[in-house]
Amino acid sequence: MDRADYWNTLRDQPQSLAGTTTAVKQALAGAALPPWRAGEVLAVFAMGASTWAAEFLVHEARRRDRVVLNWPAADWRGLSFSPAALAIGISESGRSPETIEALARCAGHRIVITNVAGSPVVAVADTVVPLGSVSDAGVYVSGYTSTLVALALVGESLGLAGLADELESAPRRVGEWVPSVMAAVDGLLSRHYATTSPGSVECVGAGSSFASAGETALLVREAGRLPSACFQTDQYLHGPAEALPGASCCVVFGGGRAVELVQVMVGDGVPVLHISTAPVPGSIGITLPVASPLVTSILEVIVGQVLAGRLGDRRGHEIGTFHHSFAGTKLPTNPSAEG
């Protein structure tokens, strides 16, 4: 899998989304997926950014009276049995050992979403859904939005009607969206952080926007190298908001109870980036077009990608490089060379 420049990858997502759509549709056309019966649990095995992408599926399945368990893949080790007759494993690199181990222990049908054909995760798959070998940065950018597309198309194939609505419009909308997001993020930083950066970034969202909040917080840490946190909107109102204002900025996705949150934060002088179809006056608002949940989720996370990238550029490091290295997060690409 190619590793590309962060900003080029971000801007090239219209092409990667179109390529993934074609690849996934071709794979599913020849797949024999089992039925997902009412009352059955679907398990997701993933780590890192892939876990956040799966929160989109969790919420959209719940809206349709279906249950998806999205524990981190590492947490499935504690079970002596598999509670799911159907599982989706997600590993963009195909080398996440926790995901591979969880899939190996699963007794049900295993659908694997990966960007790398022939990677180790394919050996524990009953159905392989490729992302199309999209080029990605050192931190997952195009791989994340492509995974959303794959989850929507797989979900529809399993009976979640309408999950991929408006997918064909996504590449065009993303191409139109990126310049306006860059302008809004630059406005936030120049208005509130002309000579410094936020001490931390708190990301808040509910429903499928919880996925966007979680992935934004992860990107701020990985690409921006700043402390961040993620909260579900209703949970945030039950105490966590007390840490503001401090030196934090707040990134809030969506409406509903988020509107009151943004109003209070603006009144208290907290820098707030509000991504919504109707941003609260006084915030740095980014107005989402009315769109399907899938397209909305893609557009939302691009805000997080731009913000994290701008913060990373300010800190002066090469985005996609890591100064901490941990054993066991990826299987080696050449096992014989690494023992």
pLDDT digits (tens, 9 = 90+) for 76-131: 887 877 778 899 999 998 889 999 999 999 989 999 999 998 999 999 999 999 99
CATH class for the region spanning 6-164:
alpha beta
Q: Which residue has the higher pLDDT, 1 or 82?
A: 82
Residue type present at position 30: G
Mean pLDDT of 262-280: 95
Among candidate residues 112, 146, 152, 128, the one with its CA nearest the CA of residue 16: 146
Task: Decide if pLDDT at 338 tops 50.
Answer: no
pLDDT of residue 339: 32
Tokens standing for residue 59: 């919420």
138-75-322 Cα angle (round to 5): 20
Give Cβ neighbours of residue 243 (< 8 Å, ≥ 6 apart). 202
Angle between helices 49-63 and 142-157 (to 10 degrees): 30
**DSSP codes, 142-171:** HHHHHHHHHHHHHHHHTT-TTTTTTGGGHH
The alpha carbon of residue 37 and the mean position of all alpha carbons in its chain are separated, in whole angstroms, by 27
Length of the chain as a residue count: 339
Q: Which of 126-140, 143-157, 219-233, 308-322 has the least mean pLDDT?
A: 308-322
Task: Decide if pLDDT at 336 tops 50.
Answer: no
pLDDT of residue 337: 31
Mean pLDDT in the chain?
A: 92
Give the integer Cα–Cα distance in Å for 78 and 80.
7
Which residues in the chain are classed under CATH 3.40.50.10490?
6-164, 169-315
Give the integer Cα–Cα distance in Å for 111 and 189.
42
The SS3 of residue 280 is coil
Q: Within 10 A of 298 (CB to CB), how many other CB atoms are there?
A: 27
Mean pLDDT of 228-244: 93
Domain spanning 169-315 has what CATH number?
Answer: 3.40.50.10490
pLDDT of residue 103: 94
Of 84-88, 97-101, 213-217, 240-244, which has the strongest mean pLDDT? 213-217
- What dihedral angle (degrees, nearest 10) is formed by the CA atoms of 231, 211, 307, 153? 180
